[in-house]
Structure 1
Amino acid sequence: MKQPPAQNRWERLSQRPLFALALVFAVAYAVPIVEPDASRAVVHACLVVEWVVWGAFALDYVVRLLLAERRWEFVRSHWLDLCAVLLPLIQPLRLLRLVSTLLLVGQRARMASQIRLTTYVGGAVVGLMMFGSLAVLSVERNSPDGNIKTLGDAVWWSFTTMTTVGYGDHAPTTGLGRMLAVGLMLSGIALLGVVTANIAAWFIARFEMDDVEERRQTEAIRLLTEEVRALRAEVAALSGNGVGDKQVR
């Protein structure tokens, strides 16, 4: 679907502020988990910040919907954005706000043409590891049978899970923690596939460039050979005319 100029302008103008808000959301989400003894005022302030950031992304979706020329087609092509906006309203859990904000940030990053794929994948890996670690720590910390009690344990578990190594020294024991593990595994496999495809596409493009250059050089050699043959034929013709003139004389 071709985007109208007004929608393109809005996406360019709102891109950086939304990414800055996403960083603010990351800090607000991390503080109560990293500092479980934080005061009630700090926890409440972080909660307000999380809702404000989610509201900013929800407002961005509404504005883009209003600026779209074919709104129903926009909803159909951006259904994941709509699900991310409605998810926390259906069940206002803190973890759902995290998931919905990550989805919205990811969708806006895909729409930003100036963000290269490698940068996006690198940011996605770091973001998923960080948020996955914080989310599983918040879920497993108070579990009586859990063995993910510190941020270091959570980061190590997140890294081994995303890379699908799975040493088993740290593993979630709650149902919600295992759901997070499944999501992190699938995300790691998907990102690995993107990186592999990107590298393969680079090699293919490189080989195609080499083939084009080789064909260009081959064509240049062919043209030069034909010119040399034509020159030889012309020289032979001139030499034959010279010999004939001498014989007439």
Structure 2
Amino acid sequence: MPHPNPEKQQLQHERYQLLQQLTDWLETPMLVLGFGWLLLLGVELLWGLTPALELLGTCIWVIFILDFLVKLILAPRKLSFLQQNIITLISLLVPALRLFRLARVFRAARAVRGLRLVKVVGSLNRGMKALAASFGRRGVGYVLGLTGVVMLLGAAGMYAFEKDVPNGLRTYPEALWWTAMLLTSLGSEYWPRTIEGRALCFLLALYGFAVFGYFTATLATFFMGRDAENPQAEVAGAAAVAALHEEVRQLRAELRPTPWPADPAAPPKPD
């Protein structure tokens, strides 16, 4: 079995540290650009972009490309880095098809909707990373913020996909209401008719199912904690359990056998 090369390991360690320093330094600027990208995508799905906003979106996209390439160059294990950021890579490649016009086939209506679906999913992934950098991956604040982004951007995507079909989602408020009902597992009478709308509906339903379980567990923990603090409640809290342990300890001390005192009239025990 070959021994690891110390110089190679040291080089990988230095590159990893440099990558972490670069990520920490660019965290705030990329966070602002990430939310700006989400806002521009919502405007594009609802009303379309003006030439100025389209230029702004292109500049942000170029910055994302440069950031991704620099991190890829510095990554010690490039294949692992690509596997962990495959959705981000796809979302960065999609605008290139429209910007450079690599293939005219993508001008078809269905192809455009398919590219929009990939862009929506990739942007949601970027928004998830931006919120994770803001709130941390744990906590109710992160989940609430992520749910709000998913609901707003998901509704914009559903409106863009379903507004032209017969009896579809005619307005954005209608699409927003439909998305909120889907995320809360209540549902509605309308079901998407386009392939892209059905795919996005499936992803939103999966997210709603997961986040509904999280909020259910959080609320259950909150109410159980309040009941545990109440001495009259049926749920035993930490103080009640500690008092019970103390009573058991005292009971054991009382039941512990004590040695009988020695009888002075008894003959001494032989050695």
User: Which residue in the other structure is 1:65 paired with?
Assistant: 72
User: Which residue in the other structure is 1:97 paired with?
Assistant: 119
Q: 1:63 to 1:69 in 2, by over 3 A?
A: same
Pick aligned residue for 1:165 from 183, 186, 201: 186
How far apart in 2 are the matches of 1:201 and 1:171?
A: 34
- CA-CA distance at 1:129 after TM superposition: 0.6
Q: 1:182 to 1:73 in 2, by over 3 A?
A: closer
The code of the aligned residue for 2:32 comes to A
- CA-CA distance at 1:225 after TM superposition: 8.7
Gapped runs of 5+ residues in structure 1? 37-41, 242-249
- CA-CA distance at 1:89 after TM superposition: 4.1
Aligned residues: percent identity?
A: 22
TM-score (norm 1): 0.67
The code of the aligned residue for 2:43 comes to V
User: Which residue in the other structure is 1:39 paired with?
Assistant: none
Q: 1:17 to 1:115 in 2, by over 3 A?
A: farther
User: Which residue in the other structure is 2:144 paired with?
Assistant: 122
User: Which residue in the other structure is 2:200 paired with?
Assistant: 180
Gapped runs of 5+ residues in structure 2? 1-11, 100-114, 229-235, 265-271
What SS class does the counterpart of residue 166 from structure 2 fall into? coil
What SS class does the counterpart of residue 4 from structure 1 fall into? helix
- CA-CA distance at 1:159 after TM superposition: 0.7
How far apart in 2 are the matches of 1:183 and 1:152?
A: 20
Alignment of 1:22 with 2:34, yes or no, is yes
Counterpart contact for 2:117–2:200, Cα < 8 Å: no
Pick aligned residue for 1:139 from 144, 161, 169: 161
Counterpart contact for 2:162–2:197, Cα < 8 Å: yes
Indicate the larger mover: 132-141 or 150-159.
Answer: 132-141
Q: Deviations along 1:141-179, whole A, 9 cap, x unmatched?
A: 2x25033111210111111122232121x4433232222
Q: 1:113 to 1:13 in 2, by over 3 A?
A: farther
Alignment of 1:189 with 2:205, yes or no, is no
How far apart in 1 are the matches of 2:81 and 2:243?
A: 48
Counterpart contact for 1:87–1:97, Cα < 8 Å: yes
How far apart in 1 are the matches of 2:174 and 2:34?
A: 25
What SS class does the counterpart of residue 166 from structure 1 fall into? coil
The code of the aligned residue for 2:156 comes to L
- What does 1:24-39 align with in structure 2 at a 5 Å threshold? 24-35=36-47
Q: 1:57 to 1:175 in 2, by over 3 A?
A: same
Q: 1:5 to 1:149 in 2, by over 3 A?
A: same
TM-score (norm 2): 0.63
Higher share of residues assigned helix: 1
How far apart in 2 are the matches of 1:163 and 1:97?
A: 24
The code of the aligned residue for 1:68 comes to A
CA RMSD of superposed structures (Å): 4.3
**Paired residues, what number?**
230
Q: 1:199 to 1:35 in 2, by over 3 A?
A: same
